[in-house]
Structure 1
Amino acid sequence: MSAKNNEIRSKLALLQLATELGSISKACEIMGYSRDSYYRFKKQYETVGERGLKNLSRKKPAMKNRVSQEVEDQVIEIALDYPNYGQAKVAELLGARGCSISASGVRTIWLRHNLETKKNRLLALHNKLKQNQKFAPLDQQHIEQLYKQDPNDPNIECLYPGDICVQDTFDLGVISPLGRLYLHTFVDGYSQYAISTVMTDNSSASVAQFLREVVLPWYRENSININSILTDRGPEFSGKKSQEFSQFLSEQQINHIQMRAYNGPVVNGLAARFQTFANSEFFEPYFKANKVESLAQINHQFSAWQADYNQHQSLSGRYTLGKTAAEVLSVSRHLIGADND
């Protein structure tokens, strides 16, 4: 029996025992709970049933900054101004500015933004300069260094919003009375702008429907073409059962890249990271506190949360560099559809 099931059974036992004994105080004494806990459990159970008795996970995904945003911004700034500097030199330079951070702290921030190697820092600088449409003489020297390096790189690179996007599904579990629910997710590899919705199916037909009815209308409205979609090798995307999805991509002339979605730090894991964050920050608390009556109800509330995420969540990454998805789309709009090297 899982620990979560034990937690729920223990709380149910408390509620039942209080009824049998006719004494809340006696039941709490026997079960080791306070009266406040009893009333909280009772309210949660009456509101949403057993789901309300489930403890929320204390483990949070590593999406938020572990240092202040000001320090994070300075580390990124130095990484792009001085891509040849190592982590110890950057920590020393920050110390001279009055900012206390260790070399390992610098590296932790670099890792979150895929800046841990000189080449990655040069690539990030290149992306920033393209977004800003300005190349100073020193910047040009750094770009020349980049192209002198070995071009063989296993990581997938994005050139602009819509160039490479990631699509995935996430099992949200069985939610009464709707049954098993799935989070369908589409994340732009360059800006990390996320489009997502909850459905009752994760078949090839459903992922094609999500792409056709939810994703493509948004991209067309914003005048962005989708060049390639990266997926894992799940049956809805790959193999004999993926016919509807594959046929739709062919009709839309969208390239399909298939690989394990967690094997690359720059693009591949974006959907998984968003889904983990959304589940922890929205779905688990929402399902615990609310009685679910319809799919429309869930998606209405989730849509508001998602809009706030895209507009206000600072994102780690070589292309975002601490900006929000909406900000990256704004500053990189001139790159869309262009063949930028």
Structure 2
Amino acid sequence: QVSSSGVRGVWSRHGLLGKHDRLMRLEKASADRVVQLNEEQVAALERFSPEFRERHIEAHHSGDLVAVDTFFVGHLKAIGKVYLQTAIDCCSRFAWGRLYTNKMPLTAVHLLNTDVVPHFEEHGVPIKTVLSDNGREFCGRPDRHPYELFLQLEGIEHRKTKVRRPQSNGIVERFHRTLLDEHFRVEGRRTWFETVEQMQEALDAYLVTYNTARPHQGRGMNGRTPGRAFLDRIPANDNPQEDNDQNIDQTEAA
């Protein structure tokens, strides 16, 4: 029988003293098929990780599924209520976010039209499906609701989470928790924001780091950044660089 101090010694050598670290390692081991989880471990990971709860959601390529949501940031004295519109590519975890003083269909459309769709178009990748909850900013009559109409015009399928089960959008839920821990709470302690534009500037800087410099430990990411994973998972027939590489190979062979 191993003593509690012996167990802590093993945890310490492997950098696993914190429960968060142990659960992160367990989730990665499960994703890499290194371990077979028992019922107790599955329950612990489902409590810990919204993303793990939604492990049945499959997105094999960039653009297969983009999850969107509205997040209430808070009520700031100098600004009032502030909401975050979020979108995240479920395959690569590449994320976008814009701050607004309301949560309306037009603000939800604005994020897609200004940031998300142009990014995919730049890389020649179509967005196949958008996943949202049943909030009024996302859902309504298909023939008149601005968000529904925008998706139709772009040829994007609209899937909704089950009613009264918003946690079924677990990937974006986990991203919100990361934003809270790494950005909003940190900036809230050291910066006095007087405008939404100032808040957006700080958020933009964080998102650059998140997408291009911060290794992601989510399922199937293997420590890659979302930006790297986005490029790696562009479908072969949608990847201009891969086509160029093939053309070069054929030319050299000739």
TM-score of the superposed pair, with normalisation by structure 1:
0.54
Alignment pair present for 1:254 and 2:167: no
Give distance in 2, aligned partners of 1:298 and 1:209: 17
Structure 1 spans left out of the alignment, 5+ residues: 1-63, 89-102, 121-154
Give distance in 2, aligned partners of 1:328 and 1:233: 29
The alignment of Structure 1 onto Structure 2 pairs a total of residues equal to 214
Distance 1:231 1:115, change over 3 A: closer
Q: Deviations over 1:134-184 (max 9, x none)?
A: xxxxxxxxxxxxxxxxxxxxx332131101110111011211222111111
Say which SS state the counterpart of residue 323 (structure 1) adopts.
coil
Pick one of 75, 88, 95 that aligns with 1:187.
88
Paired residues of 1:164 and 1:190 also in contact (CA < 8 A)? yes
Distance 1:177 1:333, change over 3 A: same
Root-mean-square deviation over aligned CA pairs: 3.5
Give distance in 2, aligned partners of 1:74 and 1:296: 37
TM-score of the superposed pair, with normalisation by structure 2:
0.70
Which residue in 2 is equivalent to 1:235?
Answer: 136
Counting only pairs closer than 5 Å after superposition, residues 125-204 of structure 1 correspond to structure 2 as: 155-204=56-105
Structure 2 spans left out of the alignment, 5+ residues: 1-18, 240-254
Distance 1:113 1:174, change over 3 A: closer
Give distance in 1, aligned partners of 2:146 and 2:134: 15
Which residue in 1 is equivalent to 2:250?
Answer: none
In percent, how many aligned pairs have the same letter? Answer: 22
Matched letter for residue 79 of structure 1: R
Pick one of 29, 32, 55 that aligns with 1:75.
29
Alignment pair present for 1:66 and 2:21: yes
Say which SS state the counterpart of residue 126 (structure 2) adopts.
coil
Distance 1:236 1:188, change over 3 A: same
Distance 1:279 1:164, change over 3 A: same
Matched letter for residue 201 of structure 1: N
The CA deviation at 1:73 is: 10
Matched letter for residue 182 of structure 2: E
Give distance in 1, aligned partners of 2:52 and 2:205: 32
Q: Deviations over 1:265-316 (max 9, x none)?
A: xxx3111111122123211231232221222211111111111112233334
Distance 1:221 1:232, change over 3 A: same
Distance 1:163 1:74, change over 3 A: closer
Distance 1:113 1:196, change over 3 A: closer
Larger radius of gyration: 1
